[in-house]
Amino acid sequence: MNRRLVVYVISDSIGETAEQVVKAAVSQFECNDYDIRRFSYISEAEQIREIFSEAVNENCVIVFTMVVPALRRLMLEMATESKIPIIDIMTPIIDSIQTIIKSEPKNEPGLIRKLDEKYFRKVEAIEFAVKYDDGKDPRGLKKADIILIGVSRTSKTPLSMYLAHKNIKVANVPLVPEVPVPEELFEIPSKKIIGLTTNPIKLNEIRQERLKALGLGNEASYANMDRILEELEYADGLMKRLRCPVIDVSTKAVEESANIILEIMRQNAHLK
């Protein structure tokens, strides 16, 4: 009668990939009596020796994903000494890629997980920017890394999305003289708020183009110069009350304005 199969999955990261490979392989057999034992984040020789001291008494095979050369060599040496079948999943793939691209591997554990985490942080930041765009929900202001304020057509939304792709959670609030700003805005440290302003003539041109795109005439108050000056004066007064940094976006591309915001964030972090 066959003894119970034990598969040791040893990894210097999570080990999920190796475990899935093992499950796929085992599924090819009529084998219901097996156990997969996963050992994650193995980073020291002593940990490997402890695992082998247990494995030597089992009817087992060892599958591992190790990128640190010294630990990989130890795994193979101990498997030979213990006469335990061992499969190195990563090395053949890494060696093949190295041969083709003529570049040395980083040999750093957990890189794919770091990339995944970075990706999900970006997705979260983008979803945040969409949810709290244009003052939709003031509850997001206290959760944001940065709050952008300014009159209509001062690049609040494009900047929010650009910064979201840098994993920064951004909320933005439109400034309209007749509409009170959320009270939460006065409860947030001024260094987290960035005011956006622009040249009135430039803003007039942008708003006229916006009206054309919507099929509306230039007579709308939205593009009226007196109205624009009123809005900018109101916004300027509010930004002074909030004592927040102000960026003139008149002649700046989104990337340029974003870099200024990032620099402000870096300076604020340095002053903590």
In a shared domain, residues 53 and 102: yes
- Dihedral angle computed from the Cα positions of residues 186, 188, 189 and 195, in that order, rounded to the nearest 10 degrees: -70
Q: How far apart are CA 194 and CA 150, in angstroms?
A: 9
Listed residues 48, 74, 109: the one ending a domain: 109
Listed residues 109, 131, 156: the one ending a domain: 109
Regions of the chain short of the pLDDT cut 70: 1-2, 109-116, 219, 270-272
Annotated binding site for ADP: 150-157
Q: What is the pLDDT of residue 1?
A: 41
The closest of 193, 176, 175, 177 to 185, measured between CA atoms, is 193
The closest of 112, 142, 114, 140 to 127, measured between CA atoms, is 140
Q: What is the pLDDT of residue 270?
A: 56
| pTM: predicted TM-score of the whole model, two decimal places | 0.62
Listed residues 109, 138, 168: the one ending a domain: 109
Task: Assess contact for 10 and 75: CB atoms under 8 A.
Answer: yes
In a shared domain, residues 17 and 101: yes
Strand spans (E) along 54-106: 60-65, 86-88
Strand spans (E) along 68-199: 86-88, 146-150, 170-174, 193-197
CA 110 to mean position of chain CA atoms: 16
In a shared domain, residues 50 and 87: yes
